[in-house]
Amino acid sequence: MAVIEVTHELETQGSWQFTLQSVDDAGIMRTHLLNLAWPDYDWWSPDGALEPSTVGLAVAECWADNDPSTPLPERFDASVIRRLFRGSDEMVRRRLSGRSLG
């Protein structure tokens, strides 16, 4: 299982962009850019109580858990997880339910 952390956050017009760092089981470190649009944030955190970086991290972790043999893409949009993995919205919400409020 990859270890993932948010190293930088930038709010842009209509979204947040996160720089993520991941380390896989072999110790290989990679950098990724994740875009989280405001509507996607609202979908996963409808009350707005969670930090955007918490939501972005949950998306990246769910992606990595569902495809552990493949590194996260260098650049990706959070919404893509819906097209790749059945039940991804519920997986992200489940992961977020254990996170503290921002």
- For residue range 78-98, list pLDDT tens digits in order: 999 999 999 999 999 999 997
Contact 59, 36 (CB under 8 A): yes
- Does residue 48 fall inside a structural domain? yes
- Does residue 102 fall inside a structural domain? no
- Does residue 15 fall inside a structural domain? yes
| pLDDT, position 69 | 83
Which residue range(s) make up the domain with 10? 3-97
pLDDT band at 99 (very low <50, low <70, confident <90, very high): low
The total of structural domains in the chain comes to: 1
Q: Six-digit token pair at 86?
A: 């059945």
- Does residue 91 fall inside a structural domain? yes
102 or 2, higher pLDDT? 2
Separation between Cα atoms, residue 102 and residue 96, nearest integer Å: 11
